[in-house]
Structure 1
Amino acid sequence: MTNNLKETKISSGKTVSKVDEQAQHYDMIVFCHLRWQFVYQRPQHLISRMAETMKVLFIEEPWFDPQNESSGKLIVINENLHVLQPNVTNIESIAAIIPSYVKNKSIAVGWFYSASFCPLLETLEFDTIVYDCMDELSLFKGAPAHLIDQEKYLMANADVIFTGGKSLFESKNQLHSNVHCFPSSVDEKHFGQALSALSVPADIDIQGPIVGYYGVIDERIDLDLLQETAKKLPNVSFVMIGPLAKIEEADLPQESNIYYLGMKSYNELPNYLKAFDIAMMPFALNDATKYISPTKTLEYMAAKKPIISTKIIDVVRDYSICVSLIETADEFAEEISFLLDQSDIQSMNIEYQKILKKTSWDATTEKMKSILKSFAK
């Protein structure tokens, strides 16, 4: 992630002429429910690459500070990629501040990650509207009931829909005539650093074999499964890396061999992954995981780590040949013991390489750009 970010604040009280001096021309505006400086995942991978040839404004969900007179905070990631954190009370109010930041009235591409931004379609003009559906957000904990209707509206106005996995594709393909499946991909070179002489961070210098996870820790994680497995294998260390979302620290299972290391930057992840003996994806099977296609599966593969996962639909059908699939704590414990004992991982690595050869974030971005060109006016 970029450090030493520049920040530009535009006051809502400035005159039009001064605001125009700050406003810039953008080729694409992205609307996203995830913060750019949160966990580095699909939006960051794709949009940072899109910004190599387009000037992009990435707009987050509003934050509102009544003590702050500015209309928002503009973070300059690089010359072609800016992040706007709107200081407004709701999404609808974003439309009023857009002219303070965007000079052109007509924007070539409007790129949506969440249908909650669909009210902006009524006031902003886009040549092409993209819905990159990476999750079924309406099934997530705390999702507003009207999000389903908002998605119907967004899909009715979208020119093209991309999906983050096969299950999502099958769902959306029934509702739109131009849906393309682009499962989560990988920067193999980045995570392959775990195979080199990287240093292992001090906070993961933990005794015993390490079974590790990194990513958001939320309602999608089967915390009971994690706790029961940890009890069965007291000599194995279970490491959870990532921020909490929609759950509290009090919800986390507390065992002497479960470690919570907090959120780490994207650049640090290979160092932590190097310390894993086994990589895990202990997802609960619930509404929130029904359509997920975990990005970390391929990242674990790039580091050549044995992987154990619960039976997420897209993981089962795409990776069952090389990922150990489990349902219960007994099966989880047995598979950990088996993988720690076996020394021949050559066949696993061969399968990993076959899978990794077929995908990269660079290739995915280029294919998406090619589709967008067909809409260019």
Structure 2
Amino acid sequence: MVKTINPGLKRLKLVVLDANFYWTEQLFSACSDFADILLLRPLDFRAFRKGYGSYFIDFQPQAISEGVWEQRICCPPGWLFHYWPLTRRFFAYLIRKFQRDNYLIFVYSYPYYYSLVQELKASSIYYNIDDYRNYWPGRESQTPEVEKLAVNHADLTLCVAHYRASYLKQECRSKNSQIVHIPHGCSPEFMVEHSLSQPKSLPAELQAYSRPIAGYIGALTYRFDFDYLAKVAEKISDVTVILGGSLPQSSDGSVEWWQGVEAARRLPNVHFIGRVSHNRLGEYLQSFDVLLMPYSLCNFNRNACPTKLWDYMGTSLPVVANNVVPEVNQWSHLLLVSGNPEEFASNIRFALANRHWRSQERLDVAKAHTWKMQAQKLYHLLEKKGCLSCQSS
């Protein structure tokens, strides 16, 4: 039974602006053990219509699980910049209405939201998931400066990537002790209970493919290095390479990147299977012999914490990656990290011949990094930083 808001209940409130990304929702929903959570979901009217099928605003929080509510907000053109003074007042109204007379922690996930901090009686967290400088065309030079303000106004800055945390510590030296790294969590529904000695049976859709299978499921955009993968696949012609995800389009990357896509498509052992629904991700990942992470060298990957890293670790199966993502490189003692396609292919061979290599260690790390565990780490950080000192009993 999902509880409703009780205006008389004295409990910590935590409001997230915004919670449109899966990982943002997962982390802060997991905080419902110690707070009532409101996930604000503002979207430009075009994206809103595409996602929800119509135009509307939730004027009241909608309960979605125990202790977690959401408010979906269809926004007009210019809501974030041109009309921000009006938008800010509206958001502040919604937040105060949820807060009532309770202690509040306000989480903002984009730097331009920082000015709301001054309108609220709350502790604040800046939740950084990326280098935002290219998110808003024409504001590439302005956004890093606004981000410094976002960090300086926050009581705590959370970065999902260690690389990004290090960068912000250099840019905002006076706030070093308030900038911390908490990576994405592992989803328990995609995890195995015990480390696997063999991969699980292939889903019905993959039964026609021969083992061994080296697989990847995720975005097949410019962030995926197809040229690198093609060079690897050529060296392991007896291994089936499965790529799951929306089929790549030429508009997803550069001309050179698209040439890599075409090179991969020409190989007889590389197969594109299309999009895999999120609720079946664990079923697919746990059936592969080896899991692949061949990422491209780009700003996004440099600043990213791939959720794939944690989805993969939760299977306990061997993971082979290239070395371009700093967050992945931090786990090189548990993953087979490769410096070039030749080493990548060799590591796939090693993984197939040594299926138990570090399998239990990977699973142990995944269990220590579930979303619930990450939320507990956040709670202890808030406690340590004194952000809970005014919490009503």
The question of a shared fold, defined as TM-score above 0.5 by the shorter chain, is answered with yes
Partner-residue secondary structure (3-state), 2:376: helix
Which residue does 2:206 correspond to in 1? Answer: 204
Alignment partner of 1:179 is 2:176: no
User: Does the 8 A contact of 2:114 with 2:153 survive in 1?
Assistant: no
Alignment partner of 1:95 is 2:88: yes
CA distance in 1, matches of 2:137, 2:339: 26
User: Does the 8 A contact of 1:60 with 1:85 survive in 2?
Assistant: yes
- Partner amino acid for 1:241? G
User: Does the 8 A contact of 1:241 with 1:261 survive in 2?
Assistant: yes
Q: Which residue, 307, 310, 327 being the options, matches 1:295?
A: 307
Q: Deviations over 1:70-129 (max 9, x none)?
A: 33586542253223332112232543543367524677111122224335445x414111
Q: How does 1:1-377 map to 2 (within 5 A)?
A: 27-32=13-18, 35-36=20-21, 40-41=22-23, 43-64=24-45, 70-71=56-57, 76-89=63-76, 90-91=79-80, 92=84, 93-98=86-91, 99=93, 103=97, 104=99, 108-121=104-117, 124-138=119-133, 144-145=139-140, 146-174=142-170, 175=172, 176=175, 177-187=177-187, 190-192=190-192, 195=196, 200-208=202-210, 209-242=212-245, 248=251, 251=258, 252-253=261-262, 254-255=265-266, 256=268, 257-265=270-278, 267-311=279-323, 312-316=325-329, 318-340=330-352, 342=353, 344-353=354-363, 355-356=365-366, 358-373=368-383, 374-376=386-388, 377=390
Which residue does 1:15 correspond to in 2? Answer: none
- Partner amino acid for 2:43? P
CA distance in 2, matches of 1:206, 1:298: 28
Partner-residue secondary structure (3-state), 1:62: strand
Partner-residue secondary structure (3-state), 2:351: helix
Shift of 1:273: 0.9
- Partner amino acid for 1:78? S
Shift of 1:149: 2.1
Q: What 5-or-longer segments of structure 1 have no aligned partner?
A: 6-20
CA distance in 1, matches of 2:221, 2:295: 10
- Partner amino acid for 2:277? K
Shift of 1:198: 6.9
Change (3 A) 1:105 1:75: closer
Query: Larger deviation: 91-100 or 136-145?
Result: 136-145
Q: What 5-or-longer segments of structure 2 have no aligned partner?
A: none
Partner-residue secondary structure (3-state), 1:211: strand
Change (3 A) 1:324 1:351: same
- Partner amino acid for 2:28? I
| TM-score normalised according to structure 2 size | 0.74
Partner-residue secondary structure (3-state), 1:151: helix
Partner-residue secondary structure (3-state), 1:117: helix
- Partner amino acid for 2:184? S
User: Does the 8 A contact of 1:141 with 1:246 survive in 2?
Assistant: no
Query: Larger deviation: 306-315 or 67-76?
Result: 67-76
Partner-residue secondary structure (3-state), 1:83: strand
CA distance in 2, matches of 1:100, 1:247: 42
User: Does the 8 A contact of 2:219 with 2:245 survive in 1?
Assistant: yes
Partner-residue secondary structure (3-state), 2:286: helix
User: Does the 8 A contact of 2:58 with 2:72 survive in 1?
Assistant: yes
CA distance in 2, matches of 1:166, 1:159: 19
Shift of 1:223: 2.3
Aligned residues: 345
Change (3 A) 1:351 1:118: same
Change (3 A) 1:362 1:198: same
Partner-residue secondary structure (3-state), 1:180: strand
- Partner amino acid for 2:13? D
User: Does the 8 A contact of 2:190 with 2:281 survive in 1?
Assistant: no
CA distance in 2, matches of 1:27, 1:86: 20
User: Does the 8 A contact of 1:201 with 1:272 survive in 2?
Assistant: yes
Partner-residue secondary structure (3-state), 1:275: coil
Task: Name the % identity.
Answer: 19
- Partner amino acid for 1:315? V
Shift of 1:231: 4.0
Cα RMSD between the aligned structures? Answer: 3.6
CA distance in 1, matches of 2:122, 2:208: 53
CA distance in 2, matches of 1:113, 1:210: 38
Which residue does 1:9 correspond to in 2? Answer: none
